[in-house]
A and B are shown apart, each in its own frame.
Chain A
Amino acid sequence: MIEVRGLRKCFGDVVAVDDVSFEARNGEVTALLGENGAGKTTTLRSIYGLIQPDAGEVRVDGVDGIAQPQSARRGLGVLSEARGLYPRLTAREHMRYFAHLQGLGRAETETRCEDLVELLGMGDFADRRAAGLSHGENTKVALARALLHDPANILLDEPTTGLDVMSTRAVRELIVQLRERGKCVVFSSHVMQEVAAVSDRIVVVSAGRVIASGTPAELRRSTGLDDLEDVFVALTGHSGARE
């Protein structure tokens, strides 16, 4: 469960996030929908504590994410915007490194690694060095790295950007599986179809502000439009979200 209230963050004169509030519940997928530069990444970074907001409140399972970022991070699994790997380590070594850093024991680490290799279909490349991995494989390793400690809350920043059809599908399936296991999943995207396909709740962000939020059905009702893409265009006032 993640609660964000009145979040505000400026970079110099630019207001990146302005009074953003939303709630992401367990067992639900919450989408942050918005164009590039709308403030999605800044919002997510504020939740996992690498950005200190100028105002507002962040709670992760009730823990104050701004006052106690380390404690809040314990309950978070994060696929950040930056998802680079160490070119000289294998996929499995990445998982071990992050599992050990999360404080997992040896046996537990190996079990979790095996589970994730299977879940994400990484068998072919688990023991190859990251330097030779494709973009999709790279993303899978980054996802595995975020999920090792089986966190209750999962933040995914544009998880499907740049992925091919198969990899995109795998990521969507993963999101659905996580929801079925009762996790609180928050992901950001600028792709309407993707958001429509998997989310229970949509938070539409534009120019740093939340301009609408609710279930897909609620959003359709409030705008009187059937197609979610039309809803988005109507809400933001331009067609930037068409891909």
Chain B
Amino acid sequence: MTNLVAALAVVLRKELVDGLRDRRSLISVLAPLALLPLLFYVAMDQASESVERARQIKIPVVGMEHARELIGWLDQQAGIEIEQGPDQPREAVRNGDVDFVLVIPEDFAERFAGSETAEVEIIVEGMDRGLDRSVSRVRDLIRGYGRAVADQRLIVRGISPEVARPVRVETLELATQQQRTARLIGFMPLLLVMGIFVGGLQVAIDSTAGERERGSLEPLLVIPAPRLSIIGGKWLAATAFSLASALLTAAMVGIGLEFSPLQRLGLRIELDGGVMALAVAVILPLAFSVTALQMVVATMARSYKEAQSYVSFLMLLPMLPLILTMDSEIEDAIWRLMVPVLGQQQLIQDAMGGEGVALVDFAVTALSTAAFAGICLWLTSHLFRRERIVFGR
């Protein structure tokens, strides 16, 4: 047993030193991480800008004189400013001189007075560029005006407005502020999982496929040190890099959040250190199984290059469910807790939603993740016995 641990420590130490000296790989991991807060800031800034734009709206109007009453009403609404629209509204919108134009046709007054349906047009091109919020706000306002007028007309004719409104929709927002925040930063688990995958990848490949390709595996295996120690040492070294990378990612996300204009989004970020720490703690055990998986895949590959492409591809597998469920809240399910990555995602969501993490949930996830790592390690040590694997035939 002491033999086993001593040999493992020797391998671990060597792989750590070797990995730290691999400057090029380190930079390839660290450089994108350093950019993370900046990306964060830009994304948040854009989001808050589009929110603000929706709140302060200038409406260029053509044909104001045909609907004085409507325009006057709009002008009184909060955050709305009326201005004279361009003479050639379509061209102006197409050229990007204005984002949209409200056009009131000449027959508006006549039809309105005659209790017919009077039309107005909103001219807009391409609802992207964060415009949809502004346009839908204007549309809602005009509809609201129309409804108010309709109610008056019905009342004048002695009919209850409710007759004309058989169904009414009320939307009740139940999500708490924190849950909304959690959803907004739902990509946090994704980033941490990426940090875990990227961090351990280099050592996992270099110490398996790389070791064979440069011809150092045979001399290593000739030594009567236990295979388990050799594989275990490599695995723990890869895991150490993976953990460091995940912690750095968390720190960078923290820095990004600290300086991002989240308040302008109307979100008070209640992500205190405790919640962040909990989220990170919940996801860290994942590193142990990810590196084990990377090792077994890299060991099976026929060459270093092949190992690199397989292991990179591996990253996509857990990303897929994470990306698909990024915006929506997933329902708690025991099977999900037992699947590495998915389990951690659920726990993080619980942690960030301010609900706390149940110890049982954490235990189930950690255990299943550990079991997964164990299977991968066993497979790797099994592969290291195969002549085809050792000599790369």
Contact = CB atoms under 8 A, between A and B. Distances in A.
Contacts of B214: 84-87
19 contacts: A11-B393, A48-B222, A50-B387, A51-B387, A74-B224, A78-B219, A80-B218, A81-B218, A82-B216, A84-B214, A84-B215, A84-B219, A85-B214, A85-B216, A88-B21, A98-B223, A100-B10, A103-B3, A142-B219
Contact of A146 (B11, B21, B219): B219
B27 to A, nearest CB: 15
A210 B10 CA distance: 41
B131 interface: no
B18 A50 contact: no
B230 to A, nearest CB: 8
A44 to B, nearest CB: 10
B139 interface: no
A166 B47 CA distance: 71
A197 to B, nearest CB: 26
A83 to B, nearest CB: 6
Task: Give the bracket for the number of chain A residues in contact with chain B.
Answer: 20 to 34
Interface string B1-41: 00100110011001001100110000000000000000000
Given A82-B216, A88-B22, 20 more contacts: A11-B393, A50-B221, A50-B222, A50-B390, A51-B387, A70-B224, A70-B226, A73-B222, A74-B224, A80-B222, A82-B218, A83-B218, A84-B216, A84-B219, A89-B18, A93-B17, A101-B220, A102-B224, A103-B7, A146-B222
A213 interface: no
Interface centre among A11, A73, A84, A85 (most CB of B within 10 A): A84
Interface centre among B217, B226, B393 (most CB of A within 10 A): B217
Interface string B202-238: 0000000000001111111111111000000000000
Nearest to A48: B222
Interface string A85-120: 111110001000110111100000000000000000
Contact of A88 (B18, B222, B224, B226): B18
A193 interface: no
B215 A101 contact: no
Interface string B246-281: 000000000000000000000000000000000000
Contacts of B14: 86, 89, 93, 97
Contact of B18 (A51, A73, A86): A86
Interface of B: 3, 6-7, 10-11, 14, 17-18, 21-22, 214-226, 387, 390-391, 393
A159 B96 CA distance: 77
Contacts of A84: 214-216, 219
Interface of A: 11, 48, 50-52, 70-71, 73-74, 76, 78, 80-89, 93, 97-98, 100-103, 142, 145-146
Contacts of B3: 103
A50 B3 CA distance: 21
Given A97-B10, A101-B7, A78 B222 contact: yes
B381 to A, nearest CB: 14
Nearest to B216: A84
Contacts of B219: 78, 80, 82-84, 98, 142, 145-146
A146 B220 CA distance: 10
Given A88-B22, A100-B10, A101-B7, A82 B223 contact: no
Nearest to A77: B222
A84 B217 CA distance: 8
Contacts of B17: 89, 93
Nearest to B233: A101
A137 to B, nearest CB: 15
A101 B222 contact: no
Nearest to A142: B219
B10 A82 contact: no
Contacts of A103: 3, 6-7, 225
A112 B391 CA distance: 30
Contact of A101 (B11, B22, B217, B393): B11
A71 B215 contact: no
B225 A101 contact: yes
B216 A86 contact: yes
A79 B154 CA distance: 100
Contact of A82 (B7, B217, B224): B217
Given A86-B18, A88-B21, A50 B218 contact: yes
A88 B16 CA distance: 12
A101 B390 CA distance: 19
Contacts of A50: 218, 221-222, 387, 390-391
Contacts of A80: 218-219, 222
Contacts of A97: 10, 14
Given A50-B222, A78-B222, A89-B14, A83 B215 contact: yes
A18 B222 CA distance: 23
Contact of A73 (B6, B11, B223): B223
